[in-house]
Amino acid sequence: MSGHSKWSTIKRKKGALDSKRGKIFTKIIKEITLAARLGGGDIEGNSRLRQAVLAAKNENMPKDNIEKAIKKGTGEIGGGVAYEEITYEGYGPGGVAVLVEVMTDNKNRTVAEIRHIFSKHGGNLGENGCVSWLFDKKGSIIFERKSIDEDVLMELALEVGAEDIREDENEIEIITDPAMYESVRDALDGKGLKYVQASVSMVPQNTIKLEEGRAEQMLKMIDKLEDNDDVQNVYANFDIDDEIVEKFNS
């Protein structure tokens, strides 16, 4: 499966650790606040805010935290930090394409930290546009293969407008056009099909296979990027054997 889904699997397992929960909440609160600031506090009329609130609920974030973040974004609650959205692009070990989406109040600090992480783990930060053309913005809905009737899922997904279906031995990923994402997800919800992750994200057009040495180096690099307070999302086009992933995650 693509690096997008592979890393999503790793993050779900790592995200179960209590030590990560505070960082997850911080990232989601940033996204809610900015979404409300840019598009208003009406969840029904602001799709970006709607997705952020759904992500918060999926992480069991308290309702008060969600409401406070929205009010900060709309200006109903004063104070707070003005964040700037930036996407950094570069290469990881083996020439893997990497996109890093950040929200920061100090881009000089952030770019220095991101550049350091890249260089320390065998990569290098590139110019704007150097790898973004290798990714497409898509809706992604991921199911565990063992928990789903594959035939039912695939038939329904295509009926309701899914664009593509990708699979490996453990998971099935439904790919949608961003405009169709919510309607496809809602249709799957309506049939009681339980997914492990759903989001609009950057999906790689192709992947680069990494052997063990570079694979572990790549996973460590992305782990450090994910752990940075300013980083919201990381996308990469690697492909790594499941055995290496399990070893890294143990």
Concatenating the DSSP letter of every residue in 218-237 gives: HHHHHHHHHHSTTEEEEEE-
The one-letter code for the residue type at 31 is E
CATH class of 84-133+206-249: alpha beta
Q: What percent of the chain has pLDDT above 70? A: 90
For residue 12, is pLDDT > 60?
A: no
For residue 174, is pLDDT > 60?
A: yes
Q: Which is higher by pLDDT, 69 or 250? A: 69
d(CA 6, CA 248): 12
Contacts of 65 (CB under 8 A, 6+ apart): 25, 29, 56
For residue 145, is pLDDT > 90?
A: no
> Which tens digit of pLDDT belongs to each residue from 191-241?
888 888 888 889 898 889 999 899 999 999 988 998 899 999 999 999 888
> Which tens digit of pLDDT belongs to each residue from 99-117?
999 999 899 999 999 999 9
Q: What is the pLDDT of residue 212?
A: 86
Q: What is the pLDDT of residue 30?
A: 92
Mean pLDDT of the residues in the chain:
87
d(CA 56, CA 112): 29
187 backbone dihedrals φ, ψ, rounded to 5°: -65, -40
d(CA 99, CA 237): 9
Mean pLDDT for the stretch of residues 10-26 = 62
Architecture of domain 134-204: 2-Layer Sandwich (3.30)
Tokens found for residue 88: 């950094």
Superfamily of domain 3-74: Integrase, N-terminal zinc-binding domain (1.10.10.200)
CB 160 within 8 A of CB 188: yes
Mean pLDDT for the stretch of residues 136-141 = 92
For the whole prediction, is pTM greater than 0.85?
A: no
Number of residues assigned to the chain: 250
Q: What is the pLDDT of residue 8?
A: 62
Contacts of 19 (CB under 8 A, 6+ apart): none
CA angle 12, 15, 21 (to 5 degrees): 145
Q: What is the pLDDT of residue 113?
A: 97
d(CA 88, CA 85): 10
- CATH 1.10.10.200 occupies which residues in the chain? 3-74
pLDDT band for position 17 (cuts 50, 70, 90): very low
- CATH 3.30.70.980 occupies which residues in the chain? 84-133+206-249, 134-204
CB 236 within 8 A of CB 92: yes
Q: Which is higher by pLDDT, 221 or 148? A: 221
